[in-house]
Amino acid sequence: MMTMTNPGAVRPPSPSPSGPFLDGSPNAVDSRIRLHRNVGVLAHVDAGKTTLTERLLLLTGRTHRAGEVHDGTTVTDFDRQERSRGITIWSAAVSCAWRGHELTVVDTPGHVDFAVEVERSLRVLDGAVVVLDGVAGVEPQTEAVWRQADRYRVPRVVLVNKLDRAGSDLDRSVQSLRSRLGVDAVSVHLPVRRDGRLIGLVDLVDQRMLTWVDDELGTAPIPSPLAREAGQRRRVLVEQVAALHEHAFDVVSAGGDLDAVTLRAVLRDLVLAREVVVVLAGAAYRGIGVEPVLDAIVDLLPSPLDAGPAQGWWREVPQPVAPKAEGPLVALAFKVDHAGTGRLVHLRVYSGILRPGERVLDTATGRFERIGRLVRVHADRLTDVDDAVAGEVVGAVGLKGVGTGDTLCSPVHPVVLDPARFAEPVVAVAVEPVSRTDTDRLDAALARLADADPTLRVSTDAETGQTLLAGSGELHLDVNVERLREAFGVAVRIGRPRVALRETITGSATGLVHRHVKQDGGAGQFAHIVLDVEPAGSWDVDLEFASSVTGGRVPAEFVAAVEAGCREALSAGPLGERVVGVRVRIMDGATHVRDSSELAFRTAGRVGMQRALALCGPVLLEPVSQVRVEVAEDCLGAVLGDVGARRGRVLGCEPAPGGAVVVSALVPLAQLFGYATALRGRTQGRGTHTARPHGYDLAPHGYDLAPNGSVR
């Protein structure tokens, strides 16, 4: 995907386009939007996301030396925990320039416990680069981030990385994209090896050889031994895109070929329409294939103008938000940090121009806020800016009441943007202060953690009075407990983990009559309802409510009050957990001319539902995870036995590169605490595993909350 004007030399870093656009003229501002790219880097753990980001920064002149993950010197993994653990925990945005375009690149975590960082980043990004390990291909977390990107309709390109490793295979990785993700993947590169060593790539679009010597890119004609294979692969590429693009089909069916400019334009059309995924090749650690990634970001991925209007709402009326600088201000707060400068709110501007000192409306709270300071975020460094136009991602200091997902807009043009959707926490630990001094600071520190991370929940156990911290997984909680100690200086003790159980019903109750009558002087309360209660057929919904009342026997406002009461009853069922998967239909009822009210019918709905739940065979549900374990074949028996002992259900085994075996299984989350340590012991350190939430399943009778899964 190269368009180099100086073949044989490294393209010099392009100057930032922001300077010429400060005159504020309409054409200049529109160009500023058109030449901007907001891109996320997504992948499974250890596929090379952060290494790629470091090479992008080096190549664009943003840094003078590439940091290394293993040395703890990367720009985006700047937190001490990230550097000590060797993984990305928090998404980090960096800015750079390439070919006159301003790029905002967000390096995201690959671990399932930190999926919230991927989710809220994708909500505000226009495109993404998905990185695959050239040996492993599509991995479990690759599938997870791919589905997240699908939800937000984000166009993507793929880099098959680490092709310098033994056992790597571009074609096998492309096939895994097609078979496991169901996408039309087209490769535009052919890796070139000499004596088993990756030395360069053939660019099938521009039909030339790309080589890297001492991190410098050179180009040359395709060598004769590769010309035939390169020609065949280019014909396959052209045929693939012609089958999906009308103009390309007309050219090819008439016996013509697609030149580089036309082919690149066709690929852009298909990528933006999310009909094709363009696959690049490389080895980021050695600097091979990084320039083509930058070119693909500029040539193939959308600008904010290409992304089109965002869907907004106001009082249930659709309000499309066009990416125009002259439009009314609309911005989305997608992340909150408690940095050294204070509370920092990360914003994506969707319309208008945002400036320091501006008074904005927070439509989530109805309060007015004033922008104190506007900054460009480069990992952990902040640079003041004078404004941010539609399409740009910036940080704002001074917003005290703005939370994740809030919409900030012009007070005279209110609108609400859809926030990102976050998974419910599935595991909790008890957090106890070590001393009275820590007691005074613990609540404030927990509040700041929950403010920054919407998947953390802080609550108090009604029976024990313990403070509970709930999150997405064991590692997620471990990281945040460490932050309590390091960032906030609060010494805490951690109690045993608890998983978030749910309840559901197995039976039904038909024609259940409940009368709520209360008379204690003055106006009374009267409500009469008849309910049918049954399982909803899915645990993904809490309550399906409908009404079959005829003849106005129960007015519509009282039916709504009954539904509200039923929902209140689901907060804690007969077994003490939140209830899911219930279908309720109000069949009949009666009112009193003076004593009936919404309060009376809400109370009737709540108490009636509580009675029904107790009669319908309540059972407990426990969260389960889909686990993928990769082990040597000689350790397979020990791993399968351990999965069975943890009440796991093996879904299958399949061979993996290097003589390994991959075991897929569903295992209760409560059984996975400490599993990484146990797996290392059973496999002499050769086994690895990943786990991601899979939903809920029936818990065994008499299930206990203990993480060892004992029963009572």
Cα separation, 91 vs 115, whole angstroms: 10
Decide: residue 406, CB within 10 A, 0-12 exposed, 13-18 middle, 19+ buried.
buried
User: Is the predicted pLDDT of residue 709 greater than 60, yes or no?
Assistant: no
The mean per-residue pLDDT over the stretch 287-299 comes to: 97
**Which contiguous run of DSSP H or E holds residue 115?**
helix 115-124
User: What separation in angstroms does the CA of 627 have from each of 147, 158, 188, 623?
Assistant: 18, 25, 33, 13
pLDDT at 564: 96
DSSP code string of 440-470: HHHHHHHHHHHHH-TT-EEEE-TTT--EEEE
pLDDT at 680: 73
The CATH class of the 427-493 domain is alpha beta
Tens-place pLDDT, residues 532-576? 999 998 998 999 999 999 988 999 999 999 999 999 999 999 998
Between 627 and 701, the higher pLDDT residue: 627
Cβ contacts of residue 6 below 8 Å, gap of 6+? none
Structure tokens at 566: 């039923």
Question: What letter represents residue 664's amino acid?
Answer: S
pLDDT at 703: 59
pLDDT above 70 covers a percentage of the chain that reads 92
**Which contiguous run of DSSP H or E holds residue 569?**
helix 556-569
Tell me how crowded residue 631 is: count the other CB atoms within 10 A of its CB.
Answer: 24
Contact, 304 vs 390, CB < 8 A? yes
Tell me how crowded residue 313 is: count the other CB atoms within 10 A of its CB.
Answer: 15
Decide: residue 304, CB within 10 A, 0-12 exposed, 13-18 middle, 19+ buried.
buried
The confidence band for 14, taking pLDDT boundaries of 50, 70 and 90, is: very low
Contact, 240 vs 252, CB < 8 A? no
pLDDT at 520: 74
Cβ contacts of residue 602 below 8 Å, gap of 6+? 561, 562, 564, 565, 568
pLDDT at 100: 94
Dmax (CA) for the chain in angstroms is 100
Cα separation, 128 vs 122, whole angstroms: 8
pLDDT at 440: 80
The confidence band for 22, taking pLDDT boundaries of 50, 70 and 90, is: very low
The mean per-residue pLDDT over the stretch 97-114 comes to: 90
Stated length of the chain: 712
pLDDT at 658: 62
The mean per-residue pLDDT over the stretch 494-520 comes to: 88
Question: What letter represents residue 709's amino acid?
Answer: G
* 277-281 and 156-161 strand pairing: parallel
Determine phi and psi for 186, rounding to 5 degrees. -125, 130
Residue found by looking up tokens 């919230």 in the block: 116
Between 329 and 438, the higher pLDDT residue: 329
Structure tokens at 194: 């000499």
Quote the Cα angle for 22-389-387, to 5°: 60
Cβ contacts of residue 156 below 8 Å, gap of 6+? 42, 127, 128, 129, 130, 146, 149, 271, 274, 277
Contact, 576 vs 615, CB < 8 A? no
Which residues in the chain are classed under CATH 3.30.70.870?
427-493
Decide: residue 275, CB within 10 A, 0-12 exposed, 13-18 middle, 19+ buried.
middle
pLDDT at 115: 82
Cα separation, 405 vs 402, whole angstroms: 9
Cα separation, 474 vs 696, whole angstroms: 17
The confidence band for 704, taking pLDDT boundaries of 50, 70 and 90, is: low
Cα separation, 633 vs 644, whole angstroms: 18
The mean per-residue pLDDT over the stretch 237-266 comes to: 95
Cβ contacts of residue 134 below 8 Å, gap of 6+? 160, 161, 162, 163, 165, 168, 169, 170, 173, 281, 283
Q: Integer distance in angstroms from the first to the last C-alpha of the chain?
A: 63
The confidence band for 642, taking pLDDT boundaries of 50, 70 and 90, is: very high
The confidence band for 373, taking pLDDT boundaries of 50, 70 and 90, is: very high
Which residues in the chain are classed under CATH 2.40.30.10?
310-417
Cα separation, 24 vs 27, whole angstroms: 8
User: Is the predicted pLDDT of residue 20 greater than 60, yes or no?
Assistant: no
Decide: residue 561, CB within 10 A, 0-12 exposed, 13-18 middle, 19+ buried.
buried
Which residues in the chain are classed under CATH 3.40.50.300?
20-307
Sheet with 156-161, strands from edge to edge, namely 92-98, 101-107, 36-43, 127-133, 156-161, 277-281, 185-187
Contact, 449 vs 483, CB < 8 A? yes
Residue found by looking up tokens 């549900």 in the block: 621
The mean per-residue pLDDT over the stretch 230-257 comes to: 95
Architecture of domain 622-698: 2-Layer Sandwich (3.30)
The confidence band for 312, taking pLDDT boundaries of 50, 70 and 90, is: very high
The confidence band for 8, taking pLDDT boundaries of 50, 70 and 90, is: very low
Q: What is the pTM of this model?
A: 0.74
pLDDT at 18: 34
Cα separation, 448 vs 450, whole angstroms: 5
Tens-place pLDDT, residues 67-96? 676 666 777 777 778 777 877 888 889 999
Residue found by looking up tokens 């660019």 in the block: 203
pLDDT at 685: 67
Tens-place pLDDT, residues 439-471? 889 999 999 999 999 989 998 876 557 788 988
Cα separation, 570 vs 424, whole angstroms: 16
Tens-place pLDDT, residues 120-177? 999 999 999 999 999 999 987 888 899 889 999 999 999 999 999 999 999 999 999 9
Cα separation, 280 vs 160, whole angstroms: 6
Architecture of domain 507-616: 2-Layer Sandwich (3.30)
Which SS3 state, helix, strand or coil, does residue 323 take?
coil
The DSSP code for 633 is G
CATH topology (fold) of 310-417: Elongation Factor Tu (Ef-tu); domain 3 (2.40.30)
Which residues in the chain are classed under CATH 3.30.230.10?
507-616
pLDDT at 69: 66
CB burial string 229-246: b at 16+ within 10 A, e below: ebeebbeebbebbbebbe
pLDDT at 351: 96
Cα separation, 354 vs 348, whole angstroms: 10
Note the CATH number of domain 20-307: 3.40.50.300
pLDDT at 10: 31
The confidence band for 26, taking pLDDT boundaries of 50, 70 and 90, is: low
